[in-house]
């Protein structure tokens, strides 16, 4: 891959700032159907080997999907890594034009793999799972407010909680129906859901956001999710191991499943209690249990086997 064929796109709500690495100029396209059509025509002329966009809270989704459907090699990259790359290169200024250039520069060095093209059903499942996550955050916030609110607003909060919970149930039904349309998903969901402590929420989240499950080894899957500890050593000093990066949505769902598993899953509970007895801090022990639970599920999916106590 040559630097001249790597394209960086800085995405905002209305504008796509485009920069071809190694070139001085950049261009602008609207982040709308007409603008994307013009961008696709432009890309067919230059035929880039890689197109990199930052994840920007969802504004990049339409552009990434459109370019991918047009057969372009699109990679959605982590904005934190791009920003740290810019700082390491001594670029402190920040404008749309500069950012597009930095994204292209970063992609030419890191060479991220293009994201696979999602089917309409995969997009639907991802959207439903993300919407459920948003409503779960809202219902927790409202329940926290209810515990400290005055009587003047309690009824309003309780009505809002009822409304959210009704919509959550409807979303769960839609997610089940979506999974049922794909026999492979259905089998995988049943395998994941068979693990004590793991429920439908974790299973559907893994289906939507961890398609690599069952295809990677234990070290790779732990690193992908962000539950693999990284060394913090320097000379004779041995620092604390910490987890970082990964897919936050999966990690959050896995954490809640792990809390349940430490009570209802004999394998995870025994492992957790042994870690605590050996002097590990609670959060360190829970992180280790998250990793163990993920590795077990990964192995089960790879083998196509449901939970069996003797197989863990």
- Stretches in the chain below the pLDDT threshold 50: 1-3, 311-312
Nearest Cα neighbor of 193 from 312, 301, 310 is: 301
Q: Which two tokens stand for residue 222?
A: 């732990």
| pLDDT at site 188 | 96
| pLDDT at site 241 | 57
What is the C-alpha to C-alpha distance for residues 116 and 74, in angstroms, rounded to an integer? 8
Taking the domain 3-110, which CATH number applies? 3.30.420.10
| pLDDT at site 2 | 45
pLDDT cut 70: percent of the chain above it: 92
- Please write the tens of the pLDDT for every residue from 154-204: 999 999 999 999 999 999 999 999 999 999 999 999 999 999 999 999 999
Mean pLDDT of the chain: 89
What is the C-alpha to C-alpha distance for residues 278 and 274, in angstroms, rounded to an integer? 6
pTM for the whole thing?
Answer: 0.77
| pLDDT at site 246 | 73
| pLDDT at site 309 | 66
DSSP labels for 142-192? HHHHHTT--HHHHHHHHHHHHHHHHHHHHHHHHHHHHHHT-HHHHHHHHHH
**In this structure, how many other beta carbons lie within 10 angstroms of the beta carbon of residue 208?**
24
Q: Which two tokens stand for residue 140?
A: 């927790």
Q: Are 11 and 60 contacting, i.e. CB atoms less than 8 angstroms apart?
A: yes
Which residues fall within 8 angstroms of residue 143, CB to CB, at 6 or more apart?
161
- Please write the tens of the pLDDT for every residue from 219-239: 999 988 988 775 555 556 555
What is the C-alpha to C-alpha distance for residues 82 and 232, in angstroms, rounded to an integer? 22
What is the gyration radius of the CA atoms in the chain, in angstroms? 22
| pLDDT at site 52 | 95
pLDDT cut 90: percent of the chain above it: 73
- Please write the tens of the pLDDT for every residue from 149-168: 999 999 999 999 999 999 99
| pLDDT at site 311 | 43
Handedness of CA 10, 22, 78, 95 (dihedral sign): negative
What is the C-alpha to C-alpha distance for residues 310 and 243, in angstroms, rounded to an integer? 29
List strands edge to edge, sheet with 26-30: 26-30, 15-20, 6-11, 50-54, 74-77
Which residues fall within 8 angstroms of residue 101, CB to CB, at 6 or more apart?
8, 19, 21, 26
């Amino acid at each position: 891959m040559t630097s001249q064929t790597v394209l960086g796109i800085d995405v905002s709500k209305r504008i796509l700032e485009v920069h071809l690495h190694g070139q001085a100029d950049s261009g602008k396209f609207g982040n709308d159907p007409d603008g994307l059509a013009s961008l696709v025509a432009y890309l067919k002329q230059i035929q880039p080997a890689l197109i990199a966009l930052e994840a920007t809270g969802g504004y990049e989704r339409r552009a990434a999907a459109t370019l991918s459907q047009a057969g372009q090699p699109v990679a959605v990259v982590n904005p934190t890594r791009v920003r740290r790359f810019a700082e390491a290169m001594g670029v402190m200024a920040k404008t749309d034009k500069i950012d597009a250039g930095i994204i292209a520069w970063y992609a030419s060095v890191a060479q991220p793999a293009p994201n696979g093209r999602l089917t309409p059903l995969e997009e639907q499942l991802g959207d439903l799972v993300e919407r459920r996550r948003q409503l779960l955050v809202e219902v927790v916030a409202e329940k926290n407010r209810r515990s400290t609110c005055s009587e003047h607003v309690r009824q309003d909060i309780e009505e809002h909680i009822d409304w959210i919970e009704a919509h959550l149930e409807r979303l769960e039904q839609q997610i089940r129906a979506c999974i049922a349309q794909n026999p492979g998903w259905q089998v995988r969901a049943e395998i994941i859901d068979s693990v004590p402590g793991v429920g439908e929420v974790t299973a559907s989240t893994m289906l939507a956001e961890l398609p690599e499950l069952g295809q990677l080894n234990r070290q790779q899957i732990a690193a992908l999710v962000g539950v693999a500890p990284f060394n913090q050593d320097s000379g004779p000093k041995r620092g604390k191991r910490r987890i970082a990066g990964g897919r936050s949505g999966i990690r959050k769902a896995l954490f809640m499943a792990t809390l349940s598993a430490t009570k209802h899953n004999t394998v995870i509970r025994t492992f957790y209690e042994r870690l605590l007895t050996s002097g590990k801090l609670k959060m360190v022990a829970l992180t280790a249990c998250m990793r163990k639970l993920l590795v077990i599920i990964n192995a089960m999916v790879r083998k196509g086997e449901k939970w069996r106590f003797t197989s863990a």
